[in-house]
Structure 1
């Protein structure tokens, strides 16, 4: 399985830190967020990784190179001319990289100890999302879950972790350009095409300077 790390966002809530640095290059314990992901992906058997870049994107290849340092092959999906394409748009642009096979996507600005599964089987589903208990900044959550299937508009929701396994079929009919992931997921959830699970161990969305300071403490 191949993996994608989403690294193209502007990181408005992280300003002024992101005025001079892409958010995935911000450091936890002296190591860039994206490097934590790369190390874990390599350790768990992944070989090929695509990273999309936009805001100050040139700085990311400048640090990571071709991935050989981690025995990985890194390909960059460059969105610097278009501006960030959002999650679904970024995935759509990178879709040829995945050769019509299931792939993993992880947000570049999360810090977690989730073990990415290089052999994950979607079976007949279009996606499988990792959910987490709701953090303070997202108390209402995003999706519910029942019998391992995601559901919309329920009383008890969980937060989408930014980690998921996807079939290219989910994005096949999406037009190139800027596109949000949530509406696509919600539409397929109605059709019972999205499975999921709840992850209860370490996970942090490093979305503000305060959260970055907290995790470093």
Structure 2
């Protein structure tokens, strides 16, 4: 399976490092996040990557060239003119992904030991449109799932705002892990253009397509938050 790694973000929460560097090259125990995630996905047999870049994108390109792409097949989706967020970034990379039956998406600033092979197997076995890795952990925004683990809504924990596909029937709130398997047909269904979050599309598409949650208890750290760096360095040596 081919993987799209989102590495374009400005990483404002990791200042001052990101004043001069892309967040994907932020180091945990001396190893850049992007390197960790390429090698992590390679352990599951993934060798074909699309990496989107924007903020100091040239540094990511140079880093990959210096390391011979870690012996992987890597294509750069360069959003040099405008940062397009996750949904716009996916559309911008369409030509590299549209011929895939399914592909994996992962945020560059996520570190985890999630069993990616099990996620992919479940996605294909159930023929889901999208499979979202989620876990029961603290988050200000939660995705809401029914008893069949099908996405039915979204909740802002702080404000109480909800977006629902139907009346909330004691839906289970789970935090998104920044990793998802997606069917290639998504490019025929996305309505938005320009800069937008892919989650906005998912919350529209949940009304017509099967978007399921893949529940896990794996270690997972969003290193985009400075306070998480210490935790990441304890878990990922």
Verify same fold: TM over 0.5.
yes
Aligned to 1:30: 30
1:158 to 159, 171, 174: 174
Distance in 1 of aligned mates of 2:209 and 2:103 = 20
Aligned to 2:186: 170
What TM-score do you get using the length of structure 2 for normalisation?
Answer: 0.82
Distance in 1 of aligned mates of 2:45 and 2:66 = 17
CA-CA distance at 1:179 after TM superposition: 1.9
Deviation string for 1:117-152 (max 9, x for gaps)?
3665164432111002223xx145233342131221
Tell me the SS of whatever aligns to 1:211: helix
The 10-residue stretch of structure 1 (148-157 or 125-134) with the greater mean CA deviation from structure 2: 148-157
Aligned to 2:84: 85
* Matched positions, count: 214
Aligned to 1:126: 129
Structure 1 residues 61-76: aligned runs within 5 Å? 61-65=61-65, 68=68, 70-76=70-76
Structure 1 residues 1-217: aligned runs within 5 Å? 1-65=1-65, 68=68, 70-81=70-81, 83-98=82-97, 99-117=99-117, 120-121=123-124, 123-135=126-138, 138-152=139-153, 153=164, 154=168, 156-174=172-190, 176-217=193-234
Distance in 2 of aligned mates of 1:67 and 1:191 = 43
The 10-residue stretch of structure 1 (176-185 or 88-97) with the greater mean CA deviation from structure 2: 176-185
Distance in 2 of aligned mates of 1:122 and 1:87 = 26
Structure with higher Rg: it is: 2
CA-CA distance at 1:94 after TM superposition: 1.0
What TM-score do you get using the length of structure 1 for normalisation?
Answer: 0.89
